[in-house]
Amino acid sequence: MSRITQSLICAALAILVNAAATVSLAATPSADAEQTSLTVRYNDLSLDRASDVAMLYHRISHAADNACGPREFTGSHVESTRYRTCFDTAVSRAVTAVASPSLSAYYRTQLVASHTRLSTLAQR
């Protein structure tokens, strides 16, 4: 993939993370809500290698986590619904923007693993 294409996709990822944060914040307005835009760079990675695909997914997830605000309510371990919606939307849009079959496949495996963990926790 050319550097120009990767730069354009990085810009698109920043916009998508920002859009997901904005959508989430618009659903629950507050006086101190602010938009966050983050750029995820991956021109140092080769999406033909599984380890690099995992690294890009980690970078996307980390950016979404930072953009979407606090994961849990203060003083508890209960995850915020607003956070989860923002995070899931940002990651999904970023993965789609990259348009890499290997990243999409990795993303699907992470979704299955996440849902399995949540189901196990809910049954306890």
The residue among 74, 92, 85 whose CA lies nearest residue 25 is 85
32 pLDDT tier (thresholds 50, 70, 90):
very low
In tens, the pLDDT along 82-112 reads 888 889 999 999 999 999 999 999 999 998 8
Express the helix, strand and coil content of the chain in percent, nearest 5 each.
70, 0, 30
Q: What average pLDDT does this structure show over 20-24? A: 46
The total number of structural domains in the chain stands at 1
In tens, the pLDDT along 37-79 reads 788 999 999 999 999 999 999 999 999 998 888 776 667 677 7
Range of the domain at 34: 3-123
The residue among 50, 80, 64, 73 whose CA lies nearest residue 21 is 64
